[in-house]
Amino acid sequence: MKSFHFLVLLSLALAISFASAFDPSPLQDFCVAIPEPKNAVFVNGKFCKNPNLTVAEDFFFPGLNVPGNTGNRVGSNVTLVNVDKLFGLNTLGDVFVFPIGLIHFQFNIAKTNAVAFAGLSSQNPGVITIANAIFGPNPPINPDVLAKAFQLDNDEVVKLQKLFANA
């Protein structure tokens, strides 16, 4: 009988010890945020306007037609547009979908400027620079592992780690 109770207790302990954590998906396709909560739905920390009452002005943001400074280290300019500046979301056009956590990039091979509208599918979006994440974390990744992964010698890896340590 004691062994049966022990097995049940062990099974329960193992069953509740597993954790699954991820960034939740957005709760609806679009939310036109409004300051007045009367007759509204509370989604993602904002009160949403009734979709039947949305108008074109809810999806307009002035200033995206003005090019920004792209002479920085990353070679791009980010104009932050969030629900506080653009109350709606217009989803017409090309769409690139990247699974959560997948490292991805886009490269403009043309000689003209490119414009991208990026919507991050996250409750708390942000930007991660891959080089900083690989060569500059604290505590650092073992240089032997990085040397093998990138087919570099250890001196080159240590040099890169010093370069990105304070980035």
Query: Which residue range forms the structural domain that includes residue 56?
Result: 1-127
Residue for token pair 């040397």 = 147
Q: What is the pLDDT of residue 98?
A: 65
User: 22-66, pLDDT tens digit by residue?
Assistant: 655 555 556 676 767 776 666 656 677 777 777 777 777 777 777
**Confidence band of 91 (pLDDT split at 50, 70, 90):** very low
> Which two three-digit tokens encode residue 23?
């960034």
Residue 78 within a domain: yes
Beta bridge partners of 43: 46
Residue 110 within a domain: yes
Residue 163 within a domain: no
The H-or-E segment that residue 10 falls in is helix 2-17
Q: What is the pLDDT of residue 161?
A: 93
Q: What is the pLDDT of residue 119?
A: 63
Residue 152 within a domain: no
Residue 164 within a domain: no
Q: What is the pLDDT of residue 151?
A: 92
Identify residue 103 by its one-letter amino acid code. Answer: I
Residue 156 within a domain: no
Q: What is the pLDDT of residue 92?
A: 45
**104 annotated to bind ligand:** yes
Residue 150 within a domain: no
Question: Are the C-beta atoms of 30 and 89 separated by less than 8 Å?
Answer: yes
Indicate the number of domains in the chain. Answer: 1
User: 100-150, pLDDT tens digit by residue?
Assistant: 666 666 667 778 777 676 666 555 566 667 788 888 888 888 999 899 888
Nearest one of 162, 98, 163 to 125, comparing CA atoms = 98
- According to DSSP, the β-strands at 33-34 and 46-48 are antiparallel
Residue 81 within a domain: yes
Question: Are the C-beta atoms of 132 and 163 separated by less than 8 Å?
Answer: no
**Confidence band of 93 (pLDDT split at 50, 70, 90):** very low
**Confidence band of 158 (pLDDT split at 50, 70, 90):** very high
Q: What is the pLDDT of residue 2?
A: 80
Highest mean pLDDT among 1-5, 28-32, 84-88, 159-163: 159-163
